[in-house]
Amino acid sequence: MLRTHSVLLMVRAPQHRPPSPLSLPAHPGCCLSGWLTAAAVAHALRAEGNFVFLFVGSERAILFDTGPIPYEPFKEAIAELVPNAASLDLIVAHTHSHGDHIKGDPLWEAEAAGERDSPFRSVVIVGHSPQEVADFYSLDFAPDGSCEDATTTFHLGGGRELQLFWIRGHEDSHIAVYDEVTDVLVTGDVLYPGRLYVRDTPQFAATCQRMAAFVQHLPPARRDALRVLGCHIEMSSDGGEYETGTVYQPDEAKYEMTAQDVLDLASATSGAGSGGQTSGLAEGFDPNRRFMVVPPRL
């Protein structure tokens, strides 16, 4: 599904037939628009159809994630939905660097290199490694994890600012993005209605505590209004689980999550990893939670 506004655009990257309508409530910063294009049906065999996010300010726009395939109509839709694109720099960035979040990058490579005209003033593609991510955002990073609590502010112009911080443990370059204007916390593949794959248990557990602390430090009104948006939906509206590889999900669970889901994830992973990579995780399905924690494969 596609939602568009001058401050936040959320696109479901083309992957399968249109799912059931998403249930994101009305908000002044984002409105329901419709499926990307009818041509998206051509990608019916693509099981990975993650959500991507475009935040727009007065000087630059930043797109988080480019989807599992280089799909030209998707790129064209991004430009068409930003009417003042010619006056903006486009940053092509990522929540993290797994393939289904970066494989659309080649769509913008020629424009970034100046080899092709762009509807945007300029195009920059952020690198995929933790160090490249850290360098681009001026976000402190150390391979030993000593800077995991670092945060940074990314300025889009016109007073628009995004807060970014590390949420590693699923993938090494993973970041969270908080947008105060739309009360949105983008959690990528760390939290969404589905299977949460843990790669490094102690690091993932620390990430969950960090997200909980971030949410708890928001003013009460902001915390109550918070909408937590991940990159996938893998559960049905009745709490069931769609199997890996499912290409048609006609009755998906409610997409947006809340501050309480962040706190529930922190509780489910509290103390995890102290006795090994799989220790302390509240694994599997719990009817009281809107996610399933999947431990590392050893």
pLDDT in tens, 163-221: 999 999 999 999 999 999 999 999 999 999 999 999 999 999 999 999 999 999 999 99
Q: Above 50 in pLDDT, residue 250?
A: yes
Q: Bridge partners of 236?
A: 252
For the chain, helix, strand, coil in percent to 5 are 25, 25, 50
Tokens, residue 172:
């090494």
pLDDT tens digits, 39-61: 333 344 456 678 999 999 999 99
Burial of 17 (0-12, 13-18, 19+ CB in 10 A): middle
How many structural domains comprise the chain? 1
* pLDDT number for residue 278: 52
Our CA dihedral for 37, 42, 44, 48, rounded to 10 degrees, sits at: -70
pLDDT value of position 258: 97
Q: State what percent of residues in the chain have pLDDT above 70.
A: 78
Q: For residues 14 and 49, is the Cβ–Cβ distance under 8 A?
A: yes
Per-residue pLDDT tens over the stretch 272-298: 755 555 555 655 556 678 898 998 876
What is the predicted pLDDT for the residue at 239? 83
Cβ(65)–Cβ(95) under 8 Å? yes
Choose among 191, 181, 2: nearest CA to 96. Answer: 191
What are the tokens at 87?
């006056």
The reported pLDDT for the residue numbered 276 is 52
pLDDT, averaged across the chain: 83
How far is residue 202's CA from residue 179's CA, in Å, rounded to a whole number?
A: 27
Q: 50, 65 in Cβ contact below 8 A?
A: yes
User: In CATH, what number is assigned to the domain containing residue 155?
Assistant: 3.60.15.10
Q: Is the dihedral of CA 192, 228, 208, 189 positive or negative?
A: positive
Q: How far is Cα 149 from Cα 172, in angstroms, rounded to an integer?
A: 14
**pLDDT on residue 241:** 86
What is the tens place of the pLDDT at every residue in 125-149?
Answer: 999 999 999 999 999 999 888 889 9
Res. 114 pLDDT band, cuts 50 70 90: very high
Judged against a pLDDT cut of 50, whether residue 152 lies above it is answered with yes
Tell me what pLDDT residue 69 has. Answer: 87
Interacting residues of 236 by C-beta distance below 8 A, sequence separation 6+: 242, 249, 251, 252, 253
Sign of CA dihedral 112, 30, 87, 74: positive
Q: What is the mean pLDDT of residues 260-266?
A: 96
Domain coverage including residue 61: 2-294
Percent residues over pLDDT 90 in the chain: 61
Better-predicted residue by pLDDT, 1 or 157: 157
